[in-house]
Structure 1
Amino acid sequence: MTPTHGSPAPAVGRRALLAGGAAAAGAALLGAGGPAHAASGAPWPTVIRLPDGFRPEGITVGGGPYAYLGSLGDGSVYRVDLRTGRGRIVSEGPGTPSVGLKLDGRGRLFVAGRGEGIRVVDAGSGRVLAAYRPATATPTFVNDVHLTPRAAWFTDSYQPVLYALPLGRGGALPAADEMVRLPLGGDWNQAPGEVVNANGITRTPDGKALLVVQSGAGVLHRVDPRTGVTRRVDLGDAPLLTNGDGLLLRGRTLYVVQNRQNAVDVLELSADGSSGVRRRRITDPAFDVPTTVAAYRGRLYLPNARFTTTPTPTTPYTLVAVPA
Structure 2
Amino acid sequence: MSPKRAGRERIDYDRRKLLKAIPLAGAVAIGSGTASAKPAFPDTIPLPEGFQPEGIVTGRGTTFFVGSRVSGAVYRGDLRTGEGEVFVPAAEDRVAIGLSHDHRSNNLFVSGGETGKGFVYDAKTGESVATYTLTDPGTFVNDVVVTSSAAYFTDSSRPYLYKVPLGPAGQLPEQSEVEEIPLGGDFRSVEGFNTNGIDAPPDGEFLIIVNSSTGLLYKVDPESGDASEIDLGGETVTNGDGILLDCKTLYVVRNENNLIAVVDLESGKEEGEVVCEITDSDFDVPTTIAECGDALYAVNARFGTENPEDAAYTVVRVSKKRRSE
CA distance in 1, matches of 2:126, 2:202: 33
Q: C-alpha offsets along residues 212-255 of structure 1, whole Å, 9 cap, x if unaligned?
A: 000111110111122111111101143x1110000111110000
**Counterpart residue type for residue 119 of structure 1:** F
Deviation at 1:191, TM superposition (A): 1.8
1:54/1:71 contact within 8 Å kept: yes
Aligned length: 281
1:111-148 superposed Cα distances (whole Å, 9 cap, x missing partner): 00102210101122211111111245x63111001111
Distance 1:70-1:80 versus aligned 2 partners, 3 A rule = same
Q: Which residue of 1 aligns with 2:79?
A: 82
**Distance in 2, Cα, partners of 1:230 & 1:139:** 25
Structure 1 residue 44 displacement after superposition: 2.1
Q: Does the CA-based 8 Å contact 1:70-1:76 persist in structure 2?
A: yes
Alpha-carbon offset, residue 150 of structure 1: 1.1
1:119 aligned partner: 119
Q: Distance in 2 between matches of 1:205 and 1:169?
A: 14
Within 5 A, what are the aligned runs for 1:124-135? 124-135=124-135
Q: Is the 8 A contact 2:58 2:292 kept in 1?
A: yes
Contact 2:40–2:81 (CA<8 Å) still a contact in 1? no
CA distance in 2, matches of 1:237, 1:74: 39
Q: Quote the Cα distance in structure 2 between the aligned partners of 1:168 and 1:206.
A: 13
Equivalent AA in structure 1 for residue 270 of structure 2: S
CA distance in 2, matches of 1:204, 1:122: 23
1: distance between equivalents of 2:159 and 2:124?
Answer: 34
Is 2:74 the counterpart of 1:103?
no
CA offset at residue 205 of structure 1? 9.3
**Alignment correspondent of 2:305:** 309
Q: Is 1:218 aligned with 2:215?
A: yes
Larger Rg: 2
SS of match in other structure, 2:250:
strand
Q: Conserved in 2, the CA contact under 8 Å of 1:205 and 1:273?
A: no
- Alpha-carbon separation, structure 2, partners of 1:54 and 1:110: 19
Match of 2:257 in 1: 261
State the SS of the aligned residue for 1:190.
Answer: coil
Query: Would you say 1:273 and 2:269 are equivalent positions?
Result: yes
TM-score of the two chains, using structure 1 as the length reference: 0.83
Which position in structure 2 is the counterpart of 1:282? Answer: 278
Distance in 2 between residues matched to 1:66 and 1:237, nearest whole Å: 38
Q: Which has the higher contact order (CA 8 A, sep 6+)?
A: 1
User: What is the CA–CA distance in structure 2 between the aligned matches of 1:227 and 1:311, rounded to whole Å?
Assistant: 44
**What is the identity, as a one-letter code, of the residue corresponding to 1:232?**
E
Pairwise CA distance, 1:207:
5.0
- Cα offset for 1:270? 1.6
TM-score w.r.t. length of structure 2: 0.83
Partner of 1:142: 141
Conservation of the 8 A alpha-carbon contact between 1:107 and 1:122: yes
- In 2, Cα distance between equivalents of 1:182 and 1:129: 24
- Structure 1 match to 2:25: none
Judge conservation of contact 1:111–1:145 (CA < 8 Å) in 2: yes
* Contiguous gaps of at least 5 residues in structure 2: 1-36, 321-325
**Identity of paired residues, percent?**
43
